[in-house]
Amino acid sequence: MARREIFPMTLADRPPASLRLSLDKPALVANWRALDKMSGSAQTGAAIKADAYGLGVEHVLPSLREAGCKHFFVAHWAEVPTVLEHVPAAMVSVLHGIANEADAAFARASGAIPVINSVKQASTWQQSGGGRCHLMVDTGINRLGISPDQAGAEVISGLEVDLLMSHLACADEDVPQNSQQLHAFCEVSEVIAHRQLSLANSAGIALGQDFAFDLTRPGLALYGGIPRPELEGIIRQVAYPEAAVLQIRELQPGDTVGYNARFTAEKPMRVATVSIGYADGFLRARGAACALQHEGHDLPVMGQVSMDMIVVDCSANANLKEGDFLSVLFDLPRESQRSGLSQYELLTTIGSRFEIRS
């Protein structure tokens, strides 16, 4: 039998995506500039971990760089190569630090700056040759970082610490722990030699100048999240997802919709199957009492969300047809309150199937 030759399709041959996301880059830049202004004399960096919180490093980072951002934070070493396509390694910091010799070797090869999180990590970094690094001190979140009582350890004092950091646990709330962590951070900064200090995330910036120090590290608020009331009316929505109608059908009384037949039609209905599901961040928690929108009409979600699809009631919109795009509500604080998902979850579960437009 003759071997069948396979001719791979080129990117130009791909059909239009049935999921698209409009990225408002001017809003993204406006958010960074607003946070930069609130940071006072401190520089303002950007957390771009998790592929810029799901919106794509290649779409987000160049806009922030052109706006003036000079410090970018990722979590994993695997995230570094993509970031280095856009900025020099000296601008990139890796929050998870040096877990082993392979991490240390990659740090040296890439030039990205490790955030040291433990005495063991400090030892691994020093044994690999040492040099510029950042240091995380845990002041109350009990996540990553050395404890304050380890600040005087010989291996810590031997580090070349550029940025001494900590992370606020409850900055989105008005609780005593914020001032307690601030006090603990100030105390430990007297013990560890450093060039700069950094404590505030998005919510921390809103706590005021006492928390800003030399560098702030916003993440969520850059992308439209509002963790504190002080940011309302300042932070703008950045992401606008849309999903295409795959099929329109007519239901009769008694017909059921979706897995487990959670919806039963009580009257004749016109419904649309839409190309979005929990593989695209539209989790089942978002489906309940939710509606998509088209030409000013609300199209309520019916039944269970599927992996790749939802069904909406389009009886009120006689003009809707297959191939039309519906708007997916993505006002982060409002959708978070409605669904019970955090604003972080809404962003970072978006998935990779959206065609991002700006």
Q: Do 180 and 83 reside in the same domain of the chain?
A: yes
Indicate whether 64 belongs to any domain: yes
Instruction: Give residue 148's pLDDT.
Output: 96
Among 191, 223, 255, residue at a domain's last position: 223
pLDDT in tens, 214-262: 999 999 999 999 999 999 999 999 999 999 999 999 999 999 999 999 9
Is residue 33 one of the residues assigned to a domain?
A: no
User: Are residues 97 and 207 both part of a single domain?
Assistant: yes
With respect to residue 325, please indicate whether it lies within any of the assigned structural domains: yes
Residues 183 and 265 in one domain: no
Reported as a single tens digit per residue, the pLDDT across 57-85 is: 999 999 999 999 999 999 999 999 999 99
The dihedral sign for the CA sequence 175, 177, 181, 183? positive
Residues annotated as catalytic (active site), given as ranges: 49, 259
Q: What is the pLDDT of residue 138?
A: 98
Q: Which residues contact 234 (CB under 8 A, 6 or more apart)?
A: 34, 38
- Are residues 149 and 294 part of one domain? no
pLDDT at 6: 55
What is the pLDDT at residue 1? 44
CATH no. for residue 310?
2.40.37.10
Per DSSP, the residues of 301-323 read EES---SS-EEEE-TT-TT--TT
Please report whether residue 19 resides in a domain: no
Angle, nearest 10°, between helix axes 101-110 and 119-127? 60
Same domain, yes or no, for 260 and 158? Answer: no
pLDDT score, position 288: 81
Residues 195 and 46 in one domain: yes
Q: What angle do CA 290, 326, 312 make, to 5 degrees?
A: 45
pLDDT at 152: 93
156 and 92 in one domain?
yes
> Is the domain of 85 the same as that of 211?
yes
Please check whether residues 55 and 165 belong to one and the same domain: yes
- Asked whether residue 188 falls in the same domain as residue 266, the answer is no
- What is the structure's pLDDT at 109? 96
In a domain, 172, yes or no: yes
Low-confidence ranges of the chain (pLDDT < 50): 1-3
pLDDT of residue 22: 97
Instruction: State which of 193, 223, 253 marks the end of a domain.
Output: 223
Do 60 and 209 lie in one domain? The reply is yes
Q: Which of 163, 191, 223 is the last residue of a domain?
A: 223
What is the model's pTM? 0.94
142 part of a folded domain = yes
Backbone phi, psi, residue 315, to 5°: -60, -30
4 found inside a domain: no
In the chain, the number of structural domains is 2
Residue 216 has a pLDDT of 98
Range of the domain at 269: 239-357
Report yes or no on 266 lying in a domain. Answer: yes
DSSP structure class, residue 310? E
Q: What is the dihedral of CA 187, 192, 194, 199, to 10 degrees?
A: -40
* Residue with the two structure tokens 């914020």: 178
Residue 119 sits in the same domain as residue 209: yes
